[in-house]
Amino acid sequence: MRILLYHLGNYFILLTKVFARPEKTKAYYRQFIQEVNNIGLNSMGIILIISLFMGSVITLQTAYNTESPFLPKYLIGLGCRDSMILELSSTMLALIMAGKVGSNIASELGTMRITEQIDALESMGINSASYLILPKIVASLFFFPLFTILSIIIGILGGWLSVAITGVISITDFNYGLQYGFNPFYITYTLIKSVIFGFIISSVSSYYGYTVEGGALEVGRASTKAVVYSSINVLLFNVLLTQLLMS
């Protein structure tokens, strides 16, 4: 319990440093462009692959488990659409991004810490926390919703393809289900979640990376912790936000 409070306190202290007023915006802009690459563009491939498979498997599962004649066929398309929108493309995706982006951020910052690159920045009179972490957080806030939208589209495409290939139901039924009873608020809900998950993953991972002490071994540990605690927080906030937004 004490260690939890300790980390929580230090985490918020770090955040106040991160959000201190930036001194030279142009320099931050360069960093931001780098993070767009690191966090944004480099994640596109994995998101495409994962979403495609999630969409197709959820479609096939629904199809094979609802073969009762009393259940309408459109449920399959609808199930694919809503599960992608509500959970898979935000929460599930965030968990995968915690693994990819989170460990990347933590090991990058951790290495900079133990090789004194962070000290070098500070010795020049630069707010290293803000200079290094803020661009990561901003890039994440920007890209995570984008990831989610992309993932929804690709996931539905995956479902559609699996139906087309296996012929488990007719494409017409599936298409009908995709359009059946669409609730636009679901999109808002999932985008809110993805922004918050983006913040959690980038800031929590930055915290564990930035505060590394020791050597290469500790960087590895920090990277693991970053993934674990980002994921736990994503799951926790998923429940909280769902209760808050859906009830």
Site residues, another protein (CB under 8 A): 24, 26-27, 30, 34, 111-112, 115-117, 119-120, 122-126
Would you state the structure tokens that stand for residue 198, as one six-digit string?
């983006």
Would you state the structure tokens that stand for residue 169, as one six-digit string?
């139901």
| Residue whose CB is less far from another protein, 115 or 188 | 115
Angle between helices 128-166 and 171-179 (to 10 degrees): 140
| Residue whose CB is less far from another protein, 135 or 177 | 135
**Distance between CA atoms of 114 and 22, rounded to whole angstroms?**
24
| Residue whose CB is less far from another protein, 61 or 127 | 127
| Residue whose CB is less far from another protein, 116 or 236 | 116
| Residue whose CB is less far from another protein, 109 or 168 | 109
Distance of closest approach, residue 200 Cβ to another protein, in angstroms: 25
Would you state the structure tokens that stand for residue 141, as one six-digit string?
């806030």
Distance of closest approach, residue 18 Cβ to another protein, in angstroms: 15
Would you state the structure tokens that stand for residue 7, as one six-digit string?
């980390």
Distance of closest approach, residue 108 Cβ to another protein, in angstroms: 8
CB-based burial of residue 135 (10 Å sphere; 0-12 exposed, 13-18 middle, 19+ buried)?
A: buried
Tokens 């915006």 belong to: 25
233 half-sphere exposure, CB direction, 13 A CA radius: 21
**Distance between CA atoms of 19 and 38, rounded to whole angstroms?**
21
**Distance between CA atoms of 194 and 204, rounded to whole angstroms?**
15
Distance of closest approach, residue 111 Cβ to another protein, in angstroms: 7
Distance of closest approach, residue 202 Cβ to another protein, in angstroms: 18
| Residue whose CB is less far from another protein, 87 or 218 | 218
Q: Count Cβ atoms below 10 Å from residue 48 Cβ, excluding itself.
A: 15
* Contact between residue 237 and residue 200 where contact means Cβ atoms under 8 Å apart: yes
Distance of closest approach, residue 42 Cβ to another protein, in angstroms: 14
Distance of closest approach, residue 95 Cβ to another protein, in angstroms: 27
| Residue whose CB is less far from another protein, 28 or 186 | 28
